[in-house]
Amino acid sequence: MSKRKKILYAKLIILIICVIILLRIFTLIWSRYESEGTSNANVDIAFYLLKEDYQDMLLNLAKIFPQNDAYVYTFTIGNQDGKKTAEIDMTYDLSIRTTTNLPLTYELYMNEDYNQDGATNIIQTDELTLDEDGTYFRSITTKTEELLYNEPKTNVYNLVVHFPKNYNTDDYQDIIEMLEITVESRQLT
């Protein structure tokens, strides 16, 4: 191979290496300092308790990133769906189970503005549990609520999720958090 071809190959290799380095730097800068998004994400999940039942909803928190504002997920639980109302008095237990991939903190409010002074976080227990596969989950529960058949009612919940901006590092890039909301209802005896 001639000296001229060797120089051309060397320049080509250097150019390719420079492009790869620039792409890597660009992706790091872009992912670290991205600041788009909103703080209020209305999920608008509705659980209708018209009979004894077990319902759950799985949420994928893939688009969550560190910021100073909280993420707010809204859902409702009621004994009416607009057409029908439960024909029996019922109680229900609300539980939330999350993965522990991200350093998130949770608050839960029922029928009140979470931003108001004196708003009550209704979380009764918030503990880490280990499943049979050795995976850690956070289990959050609230007290049992009643829905009386002669009083059509819908409880509005705001799940407030905090992911502080000080976690804005490469360590948390492309990590997905899963959240499962479960409502178990039964006849009030």
pLDDT in tens, 176-187: 889 999 999 888
Q: State pLDDT tens for residues 101-155.
A: 899 999 999 999 999 999 999 999 999 999 898 889 999 999 999 989 888 888 9
Distances (CA, A) of 27 to 17, 23, 99, 102, 109: 16, 6, 26, 21, 38
Confirm if 91 and 146 have CB atoms less than 8 A apart: yes
What pLDDT does residue 14 have? Answer: 87
Neighbours of 85 (CB within 10 A): 17
Query: Which of these ranges, 31-40, 53-62, 82-91, 150-159, has the smallest mean pLDDT?
Result: 31-40
Distance CA 56, CA 64 (A): 21
- pLDDT, position 51: 63
β-bridge pairing 45-48 and 71-78? parallel
Least confident segment among 40-44, 60-64, 102-106, 184-188: 40-44
